[in-house]
Every structure is written in structure tokens, then in C-alpha cells.
Amino acid sequence: MKIILSCIMFLATFVTANTCSEMIIKNTTIFSYGDFYRDSSYFLNRGDNAWTHKYYWSEGKLDSMVYDPMEDGEAPKVFYFYWNTDKSSLKGAGAEQIVAKETSGDTVIYKQEYYSAGELEDSVTTKITKGRTSSLAYSMGAKKWTLTETYLSNDTLYHKDIYGYNSGHIRCSSLQIRKAIRSAWNMKLPKATPRIVETIEYAETEKGFVLSYLQGSGENAYLRKFFFVKTEGTTSIRKTLKPVKISPKARYFDLLGRYKFFN
């Protein structure tokens, strides 16, 4: 059975379905999207397990990320990013990444190395072109490769995960995201029964836009929200991070229960 996701868009009239598809494609990476940067993200799994990420940028590059488990007694953790350098820049404590960026025409390639306490744990190479992203990741612990691809073809946005890539034990999963345009609802899918397993919503905000991904419903729902802001709203965390004792949920919601930005 083919699995189809529905991309539900709440857009101004000038935004097209192709724009929504392009946003989804580029949101598979943590790096910038045109004139926007990922400001933060919020995750809620099964109604009670929540956590957030807050991203900080400096001179157009991702500088650091704060992971907050939103649990009483657990402090946020900081992940640092170092660009176009080598291991000599590592502090050897906590979580760190070395990132290299290469550009050739309309193609951008990011090479990431993930370190924990100074030891290399994983590496990822991501290639971004118009209408497609692909990432090849290697886990040092599992000693396995994973290939992930998201791309647009005709009226369908595809997402594929190939686990055990370059090995004799390959396992695949794939999703097809139907573009949210009227003609797409009449697509012929022989021998397939469409089933919505996730809705993706786009909404404009005062500072940019938000992409919301929702799987399931009720107690089994899994919600992911990614908030984007314009370039001028980026800051650096390394000189501003201070420990503050505050209720986990109060960190991210205002008095009306709305998710709040940090900038």
C-alpha cells in the first residue's frame, strides 16, 4: 500500500504549491532557507513528552543549538558548530560539530562531523539542489550507512530512507507527499489506496513562517513545529547563554498558551 501525506497550506494568494514543496524539501536540513533561518522547533509526542531546540546564528552560519528536554531538574544542553575547520577547534567537552560548506552553481554540499567529548560519533554529507536534498550518514557505533532523499517529481514529493546503505542488509521506507493543488487530488494511483498518515501545515507569522507536522491523533499524536524568521533576526548564543531557573513549559509559551519566539 502506498502511503500519501497531505500538505495542507494556509497561504497568501501569491504562495504556490511548489513553494510549499520547496519548503518541505529544505526543512530536511538545519541550515538556512533562502532569506529565512530556523529559529526554533517544538516537539510533542503522545501528549506528555515534549522538548525543544533553539538555534542561534552568527554571520549567516549556525553557531549553536540549545536542546531543552522541558523536564523539571534537567538543564538545557548546548551543541556548538564550527565551520570550515578541523579537530583543533574542538573543546573536547559536550556535543560539537564541524561543518564544511561547498558551493558549485545551484548545488550546495554540507559535510558534518558529530563529536561527543571530543570523539567522532557520526558523519553526514548533505547535497542540496533545487527540488531535491539527499543525505548520506554514517554511524560509528552501528557502523552502518543511511541514505535519505527528499525530492519533487511531477505532482508528487517523495521522501525515502534507505537503512544499511552499501551493505548486504538494506531496509527501505518511503513516503509520497501529494502536492496540495486541485489537480493533484485526481491523480491516478493504480492498485493503491491513499491513506493520510501526516498533515503538513504552513502558516505565516509576524516574524516569518512555521511548518507543522502532525502524525496520528489523540494520545498517539506526534507534533513537530519548525519556526523560521527572517535573516536579520539571527543572533549568537555564546555570549548570551545564562542559566535561568524557570518552569519548563513557561520557557516557551506566553500567558495565552501560544508558542513564543526568543528574538
In a domain, 73, yes or no: yes
Distances (CA, A) of 95 to 39, 78, 139, 181, 182: 20, 7, 15, 42, 45
In a domain, 148, yes or no: yes
In a domain, 263, yes or no: no
In a domain, 261, yes or no: no
In a domain, 175, yes or no: yes
Full-model pTM: 0.73
3-state secondary structure 4-44: EEEEEECCCCCCCHHHHHHHHHHCCCCCCECCEEEEEEEEE
In a domain, 27, yes or no: yes
Number of domains in the chain: 1
Where in the sequence is the domain holding 136, given as residue range(s)? 4-251
Per-residue pLDDT of the chain (263 residues; tens, 9 = 90+): 334 444 443 333 223 445 677 777 778 888 876 778 899 999 999 888 899 999 999 888 899 999 999 988 889 999 999 999 999 999 988 899 999 999 988 899 999 999 999 999 999 999 998 888 999 999 998 888 888 888 877 767 777 888 877 766 666 655 555 544 333 333 344 445 555 667 888 888 888 889 898 888 888 899 999 999 987 655 554 444 444 444 555 454 544 444 454 44
In a domain, 260, yes or no: no
Q: Judge contact between 79 and 94, C-beta under 8 A.
A: yes
